[in-house]
Structure 1
């Protein structure tokens, strides 16, 4: 178990790499408070060798703080990882709390972070989970279950839309045969998402079967997805749109309209996220290990799981920094 991250600190043309076992979920809070607190947090973690990057299968978050170029790249945080509008608002706030810095979302995850500091990111590409026997094209029975929006142009020119309760990658991983599983009787001619609990789902895709075109967008951080998919979509042109979900509306010729999330609700959610008091999981790990030992079982705990060093401002300072960022970002 863990929420593993790599943290790279660039200084004087080189970088120092660090590891933290528990902060992928909280990284967007840990690094929010500005350069001073971020440096303190990173340098409190366990230093590792420059080549000891985790690969995509293990890394759940990460960051580069480049002191030479005044650039911050990061990804992680359970609250914003699959919510693009929330993340976009967060990045506005982050930029305001790091004045004079360029802040960027690392959309290619750990691979992109490694590439940035000059390590060969392709070495970190993870395994590709492809199950050719299970097409998971599940219609969403309730609006709150919608995770993906698909648009399909059939060979006769008809265009239909499909809100689905499965993640976008389940369709992509099944390959070109997935096109045959879109039942016309389940498709709709138009979709407007304003009344959905989340007007922007976590991913989407557009198929043009006759032209053999596949476009997809996604909230999560992946690298080289189009290349990974190519063997399963032979002869298709595959385009990764990143998080640019608005381009999907154009591909669907205006029949798909994404609603606007409520900015006040998003800001309230970010306030709650950023001021949340973290409870370290280390004590729970120790209690579990103790209970297993008492039951007569042999237990070995990874030493990394017993370290959760945090260096952060007190709650009142956090509130001051956050309110200043909200004003600086023009959100309040």
Structure 2
């Protein structure tokens, strides 16, 4: 979004992988790299087709973005990745777009419905058994669901967030295994209070129609906690007990991921952009910046 208020659209195939790591390069590298690509006229990917995107508002110095995978969507790395991107973009305001590309269009004053799917179907996330191997992963694809004060269920964090299912979701969980509590680093969550008819949900990625979930729960109070998983932990004491995160370890792992992404992946779409758009000196400066963390 140039300073004159217009907007330009650029697209990269397979560009969703590592967009958070790419943004660590900062505006002096990222913006020329983006503009080195060919512009796409009148092309906006729909909700299910766009897995990551960024909007650079040059006039107001606002960076809006979201991703479906990567360190910024992982419980253990979310905070440090956000911190480091903010450090790489001094003077810019960072915003996560929980409604994906629709939020980008809203910022531009465009109709968000243009990226909606008219025949969108709900794809329920599978319920996990207590012995599922996914629960052994350091960064598992898990959604934690707590019901009232006494139930905790774990779902695979694939397909749709369970909040989109509405009250019928409770029937689906009737025979689901109760895990008692969740101690893994979940990527999303949902708390349902059947007595007060209240719902709170959060996620570290994005979901279509994020601002419209109340319509899926008629007669209920629905609150989106965005990425504030702490509110879930408070709403379900003793049920959602995520692991403590070591900032030092998370920062070291993020640095390793970034260096690998930039220097060890010749197929990375951003690496190609950097080679085409910036000089060797600038590229070297970026690497030194990472080394100085």
TM category, shorter? 0.7 to 0.9
Q: In the alignment, which of 10, 13, 18 is matched to residue 18 of structure 1?
A: 10
Q: Structure 1 unaligned runs (5+)? A: 1-8, 283-306, 327-332
Taking the TM superposition and a 5 Å limit, the aligned residue runs for 1:139-218 are 139-142=129-132, 143-144=135-136, 147-153=142-148, 159-165=150-156, 167=158, 169=160, 171-182=162-173, 186-187=177-178, 191=181, 193=183, 196=184, 200-218=185-203
Matched positions, count: 279
CA distance in 2, matches of 1:22, 1:166: 21
Give the match's secondary structure for 1:100: coil
Q: How does 1:241-252 map to 2 (within 5 A)?
A: 241-252=225-236
Do structure 1's residue 36 and structure 2's residue 28 form an aligned pair?
yes
The structure with the largest alpha-carbon Rg is 1
Report the CA distance shift for 1:228/1:278 in structure 2 as closer, same or farther (over 3 A).
Answer: same
Is the 2:67–2:205 Cα contact (8 Å) retained in structure 1? no
Deviates most, 103-112 or 32-41: 103-112
Higher strand share: 1
TM-score normalized with structure 2 length? 0.81
Residues 127 and 176 of structure 2 are in contact (CA less than 8 Å); yes or no, is this contact kept in structure 1? Answer: no
Q: Does 1:221 align with 2:241?
A: no
Q: Which residue of the partner structure matches residue 57 of structure 2? A: 66
Distance apart, 1:62 and its partner CA: 1.0
The 2-side partners of 1:39 and 1:185 are apart by 48
Map of 2:128 onto structure 1 = 138
Give the unaligned 5+ runs of structure 2. Answer: none
2:200 and 2:159 map into 1 onto residues whose CA distance is: 11
Aligned position for 1:293: none
Partners of 2:161 and 2:60 in 1: how far apart? 39
Q: Which has the larger displacement, 311-320 or 38-47? A: 311-320
3-state DSSP of counterpart to 2:71: coil
Q: Which moved more, 1:85-94 or 1:74-83?
A: 74-83
User: TM-score normalised to the size of structure 1?
Assistant: 0.72
Kindly provide the CA deviation profile for residues 212-252 of structure 1, in whole angstroms up to 9, marking residues without a partner as x. Answer: 32222112212423635734x44333222221111011211
Q: What is the Cα deviation at residue 64 of structure 1? A: 1.2
Partner of 1:299 in structure 2? none
Of 113-122 and 311-320, more deviation after overlay is shown by 311-320
User: SS state of the match for residue 123, structure 1?
Assistant: helix
Q: Are 1:28 and 1:77, in contact at CA under 8 Å, matched by a contact in 2?
A: no
Q: How far does residue 186 in structure 1 lie from its aligned partner after superposition?
A: 4.1
Equivalent-residue separation in structure 2 for 1:243 and 1:52 (angstroms): 29
Determine the structure 1 residue equivalent to 2:290: 322
TM-aligned CA distance change 1:59 to 1:184, over 3 Å = closer
Q: Is the 8 A contact 2:65 2:96 kept in 1?
A: yes
1:117-136 alignment, distance < 5 Å: 117-126=108-117, 128-130=120-122, 136=126
Q: Secondary structure at the match of 2:55?
A: strand
The question of whether the paired residues in 2 share the 8 Å contact of 1:206 and 1:216 is answered with yes
User: Over the residues paired in the alignment, what is the CA RMSD in angstroms?
Assistant: 3.1
